[in-house]
């Protein structure tokens, strides 16, 4: 019996009905994993690309079988798929019987070189009426190779889960549990591409805590860290479903606002500004701290680069302007642009 601890293991069989009928019952009638049968090369390739199986059985006598093995070997992103080639071609079986083990080794090596991970010989036996032939094979060998394939699939799934965990750790800020700057560098270009493809708006907010150094100098860095955590919790609880916050560095944060216009971004920023300034942060029964934040907003423009550097720059300039103007306020790029234009008009 095959013991399969992996979840969602799938087998794609590239073969005809007479081939399927000879497979062990543990494969044909299993509920442990899914089995799909295809006998067309183009359909098989399309299926593998769309939904890659974990294991592939290939009937060598079927048109396109060796091409499928060779193609699969060239797909570096699919290298984890375990391909088992079942040799049922009459000429190869005849040569094997005629020339012995040396010829068998040569043909096995050639098949493995073409892309198969395992090579199983099928025998042709005549029925009693000497008119029909049926395919037979060592079921124990088939099940043994299947077990190898299942182990490989399990290891691949474990590797994917491990990589997902490591990626999540690498893209998360350990103090605030928000996405970090590295995550923003990945996420922002994707958001820009989506916005331009779907012709929707995209805005962002850059904010930081006013006079945060004074908090650290007065109360210590542990209190400062706790203030950052409480601020992030308050922001997260008051963001919309399409808003994604990031810790940009130190006491500075970025919030991506999907499907949000410049005016809507300004409204979101003003609301967050009030939520922070209107209610002090209670760190303990004896310590309550009042903090404020300054915010800059900007909306994606046609001339912005695909990586989002110019968009971030405009928002950052607005944040600097908000701090220069007295802190605890919001400046957006339209306001900043109109002021620059007005100053240029006055000076001229």
Q: Which pLDDT does position 217 carry in this prediction?
A: 94
What integer is the mean pLDDT of 291-310?
Answer: 96
DSSP string, 40-106: -HHHHHHHHHHS--SEEEEETTSTTHHHHHHHHHH-GGGTTSEEEEEE--HHHHHHHHHH-HHHHHH
pTM above 0.75, yes or no: no
Q: What is the pLDDT of residues 190-228, one digit of tens each?
A: 999 999 999 999 999 999 999 999 999 999 999 999 999
With residues binned 3-state (H G I as helix, E B as strand, rest as coil), the percentages for the chain, rounded to 5, are: 50, 20, 30
Q: Tell me the average pLDDT of the chain.
A: 86
Does the structure show a pLDDT above 80 at 130? no
Q: pLDDT per residue over 83-113, tens digit each? A: 999 988 888 888 877 877 777 788 888 888 8
Task: Please tell me which residue in 177, 251, 252, 264 is annotated as part of the active site.
Answer: 251
Judged against a pLDDT cut of 60, whether residue 135 lies above it is answered with: no
Question: Residue 20 class from Cβ within 10 Å (0-12 exposed, 13-18 middle, 19+ buried)?
Answer: middle
Q: Which domains does the chain have, with CATH numbers?
A: 10-169 (3.40.50.2300), 181-347 (3.30.70.270)
Does the active-site annotation cover 251? yes
């Amino acid at each position: 019996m095959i013991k399969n601890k992996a979840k969602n293991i799938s087998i794609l069989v590239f073969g005809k009905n007479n081939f399927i009928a000879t497979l062990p019952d543990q494969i044909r009638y299993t509920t442990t994993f899914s089995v799909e049968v295809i006998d067309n090369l183009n359909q098989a390739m399309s299926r593998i690309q769309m939904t890659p199986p974990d294991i592939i059985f290939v009937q060598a006598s079927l048109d396109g079988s060796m091409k499928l093995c060779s193609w699969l070997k060239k797909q570096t992103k699919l290298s984890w798929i375990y391909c088992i080639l079942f040799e049922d071609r009459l000429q190869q079986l005849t040569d094997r019987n005629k020339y012995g083990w040396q010829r068998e080794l040569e043909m096995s090596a050639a098949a493995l070189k073409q892309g198969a991970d395992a090579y199983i010989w099928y025998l042709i036996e005549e029925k009693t009426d000497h008119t029909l032939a049926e395919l037979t094979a060592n079921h124990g060998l088939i099940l043994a190779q299947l077990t190898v394939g299942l182990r490989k699939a399990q290891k691949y799934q474990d590797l994917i889960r491990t990589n997902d965990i490591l990626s999540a750790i690498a893209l998360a800020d350990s103090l605030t549990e928000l996405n970090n700057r590295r995550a923003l560098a990945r996420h922002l270009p994707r958001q820009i591409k989506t916005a331009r493809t779907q012709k929707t708006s995209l805005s962002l907010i850059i904010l930081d805590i006013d006079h945060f150094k004074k908090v650290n100098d007065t109360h210590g860095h542990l209190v400062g860290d706790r203030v950052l955590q409480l601020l992030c919790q308050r922001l997260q609880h008051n963001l919309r479903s399409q808003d994604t916050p990031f810790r940009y560095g130190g006491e500075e944060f970025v919030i991506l606002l999907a499907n949000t216009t410049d005016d809507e971004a300004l409204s979101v920023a003003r609301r967050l500004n009030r939520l922070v300034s209107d209610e002090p942060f209670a760190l303990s029964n004896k310590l309550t701290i009042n903090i404020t934040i300054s915010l800059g907003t900007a909306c994606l423009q046609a001339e912005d680069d695909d990586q989002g550097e110019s968009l971030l720059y405009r928002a950052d300039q607005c944040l600097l302007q908000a701090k220069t103007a007295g802190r605890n306020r919001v400046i957006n790029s339209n306001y900043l642009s109109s002021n620059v234009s007005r100053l240029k008009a006055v000076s001229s």
